[in-house]
Structure 1
Amino acid sequence: MHEASTPLAADATRPTDLDEDSGLRPGAARREVAQQFASVVSDIASGALEFPLPGSGRTSQRFAALRAVAQRDLCLARLVEGHVDATAILTELGGTAPGPAERWGVWAAEPPGEGVTATRTEAGWRLEGLKQYCSGAHSCTHALVTATADDGRRLFAISTGGPECHPVPGTWQAIGMAGSDTPDVRITDLPAVPVGGVEAYVRRPGFQHGGIGVAACWYGGALAVTEPLRSAAHRAPDPHTDAHLGAVDMKLHAAGALLEQAAAEIDQDPLDRGGAARLRSLRVRAFIEEACSAALSHVGRATGAGPLCRDLRHARNVADLSIYLRQHHAEHNLAELGGLVARPEDNR
């Protein structure tokens, strides 16, 4: 794989400084990650850190940069991925690019529940309702939000700083990914600016490209999780430890190669004229989810409880990756993949 030509690449595996007992407290983790998020966004705005747009001819560099952030901290990667995804979405759908001091999220989860509705008024669009799983709820200055209007599902740009938009206390109790700050957000008569038309958010090819960017974050998280196994194999050669490391290396090497191939294919057909984007996204995400899950299992079996109980950074990495991987919809996505393979005409 190509190394990311960014300052984070050389710093990818350095642990974040943590208080001895605060690292797993959701409030402390949230504040820690928010500070890092602001710093990374500042570096992006200044040009010190670059995430090329998907399909720009440098998609491999984008995925490598996401991997590097994730290898450093998965919660940070969740927020950074949202910010750079929002930038790509706004570019693709003709929205206004983020300002240099703005931190954006993409709040598009739509699980069962109340949801958000959009109403067109004489004064413009207004949003109302409850949006679940809003990463960066306390640290994002702006967000792209999906909502249901009379004519269908739409995407809107909002400012998060006013009383019309506030996180709901107690709705993000996670230990894993605690620092991603992903509670529900209550939206009340919130002014909003439409971005694209009905269903434009999910119909654009970039929706599929962005899903592979999330998988690049999973991959970076898995690389971080394997560090105790690599260290154990280096310190005390043992055939069983080596076998676990070999199994992990095989799968993660293949995952990295698959990301490189996907990046090249995206750059060859960024507008998806060939109709392969959904099939590619399903394949890549499923394989990388499986490789990351295997890494979690092999590392745990090889190293035992010691690193989980005595190494706070590793414990966080394992907990974070276990949660983040659940953005893959498991058998639901595999069933869709199988259907597309069995009936290729459905992919047109």
Structure 2
Amino acid sequence: MAPLLGSVREAVGDVPALLALARDLGRTAPRPGEGSTARLWELLASVTAVDVAAGRVLEPHLDAVAILSQASALVPDAADAAWGVFAAEGPGMRLEAVVDGAGAYFLNGSKPWCSLAAQLDGAVVTAHVARGGGGSAGPTAGTTPGTESGGRAAFAVSLNAPGVSCDTPQWTSRGLREIPSGTVHFDGVSAIPVGGTGWYFQRPGFTWGGMGVAACWFGGAVAVARDFSSALAAAADKGREPDQIALAHLGETDRIITSLSGYLARTAERIDSGGLSGSGAWSEALRVRGTVSAAVERVQALVAQNLGPGPLAFNEAYGKRMADLSLYIRQHHAMRDDAQLGALTLKGDRSW
């Protein structure tokens, strides 16, 4: 792990270098559900603890590699490509998959929130499939609620193919500045089916991937906690001992980090033992993501209150980390995800 993290430190801010590291790791990194999920999450957390943006580069690549493996999809040169996963939907945008008489699929339309699309080689994308258009994508496994046609399916697509164009967004946020997320347009782009209609969302790996993102958030929180501890220790070395408020907040931070570490480790064990592959997997994903997201925000608040404006204004690494992490955890849907969890809890999907 140490040589890898050293390489990540050297590549901070250099997206091509980070993508090269992601490609290398994708060949050897554990995949969720195959016996070493805890190691995978430790890898994601450790990289993100070095640099949040580096974790944001690595996570979708490893997720895409896992998706292709879960579907047994035959994608030429997949191991040599830098991958993304584009599954977001947006108002006024729709990506559709059409199949020709020979069973080949083509994508038409637009996809929002496509991070690093202009620098990636390929992506796993979700698209709406016309009803009855299962074709070579395999048997229909069900539809996604709310779609207007036959549901959504996943496809592997080359982002260098004719017909692909990427918008360059005006990324005004200080957070994740090296990873802008724009819109990608597809005009008759050849695509390889990855599972059947509905498979992408119904597979156990969908929830496992969502928890992998939470492992990245956790790594960011660990880094912020280390910033806090180091700052207090440095001040003490100069004769300024921390007061009881600072010590209490450091103690709370320690409780949060320790609790999250144990929770993620236990959850990873449940995944590998087969305990999170059924109907309860989605509830647990919501619990994990909600718990980690809330904890990250609490750690950030504790540290920011204690360290004040100084490091935010003058410490580049700390300021970048706080901005990157604040934007990254907004992938969590906050109370809307809690509402989903509450509905499942009301139906009896709980352990208490």
- The answer, yes or no, to whether TM exceeds 0.5 is yes
Contact 1:232 1:241 in 2 (8 A): no
Aligned equivalents of 2:114, 2:251: Cα separation in 1? 38
Helix, strand or coil for the counterpart of 2:277? coil
Match of residue 289 from structure 1: 293
Match of residue 129 from structure 1: 109
TM-fit CA distance, 1:271: 6.8
Contact 2:167 2:182 in 1 (8 A): yes
Aligned equivalents of 2:225, 2:163: Cα separation in 1? 43
TM-fit CA distance, 1:51: 2.1
1:254-293 to 2 correspondences below 5 Å: 254-269=259-274, 272-273=277-278, 275-293=279-297
Residue 53, structure 1, aligned to residue 31, structure 2: yes
Match of residue 181 from structure 2: 182
Residue 143 of structure 1: which of 120, 123, 141 is its match? 123
Matching residue's letter, 2:70? E
Contact 1:229 1:241 in 2 (8 A): no
Contact 1:166 1:185 in 2 (8 A): yes
TM-fit CA distance, 1:152: 1.9
| Distance verdict in 2 for CA 1:220–1:191, change over 3 Å | same
- Return the index of the structure with the highest Cα Rg: 2
Helix, strand or coil for the counterpart of 1:178? coil
TM-fit CA distance, 1:315: 0.9
Could you list the per-position Cα deviations for residues 141-161 of structure 1 after superposition, in whole angstroms to 9, with x for gaps in the alignment? 010010111122111110001
TM-fit CA distance, 1:195: 0.8
Contact 1:282 1:333 in 2 (8 A): yes
TM-fit CA distance, 1:346: 10
1:1-348 to 2 correspondences below 5 Å: 7-8=3-4, 11=6, 15-16=9-10, 29=13, 32-45=14-27, 50-96=28-74, 99-122=78-101, 124-150=104-130, 151-235=150-234, 236=236, 237-238=241-242, 239-269=244-274, 272-273=277-278, 275-344=279-348
Aligned equivalents of 1:79, 1:212: Cα separation in 2? 16
| Distance verdict in 2 for CA 1:133–1:103, change over 3 Å | same
| Distance verdict in 2 for CA 1:152–1:77, change over 3 Å | same
Contact 2:176 2:324 in 1 (8 A): yes
Helix, strand or coil for the counterpart of 1:179? coil
Aligned equivalents of 1:147, 1:295: Cα separation in 2? 37
Could you list the per-position Cα deviations for residues 201-249 of structure 1 after superposition, in whole angstroms to 9, with x for gaps in the alignment? 0000110011110000001111122233111221223122222211111
TM-fit CA distance, 1:93: 1.4
| Distance verdict in 2 for CA 1:161–1:270, change over 3 Å | farther
Aligned equivalents of 2:251, 2:318: Cα separation in 1? 20
TM-fit CA distance, 1:129: 1.3
Matching residue's letter, 1:75? A
Contact 2:88 2:113 in 1 (8 A): yes
Deviates more, 1:318-327 or 1:130-139: 130-139
Match of residue 137 from structure 2: none
Which structure 1 segments of 5+ residues have no match? 19-28
Could you list the per-position Cα deviations for residues 68-123 of structure 1 after superposition, in whole angstroms to 9, with x for gaps in the alignment? 11112222212211111111111111212663321111111113231211111236
Q: TM-score, normalised by structure 2?
A: 0.86
Helix, strand or coil for the counterpart of 1:183? strand
TM-fit CA distance, 1:174: 3.0
CA RMSD of aligned residues (A): 2.2
Aligned equivalents of 2:304, 2:276: Cα separation in 1? 41
Q: TM-score, normalised by structure 1?
A: 0.87
Contact 1:118 1:148 in 2 (8 A): yes
Match of residue 23 from structure 1: none
Name the % identity. 34
TM-fit CA distance, 1:16: 4.8
Aligned equivalents of 2:55, 2:74: Cα separation in 1? 23
Which structure 2 segments of 5+ residues have no match? 131-149
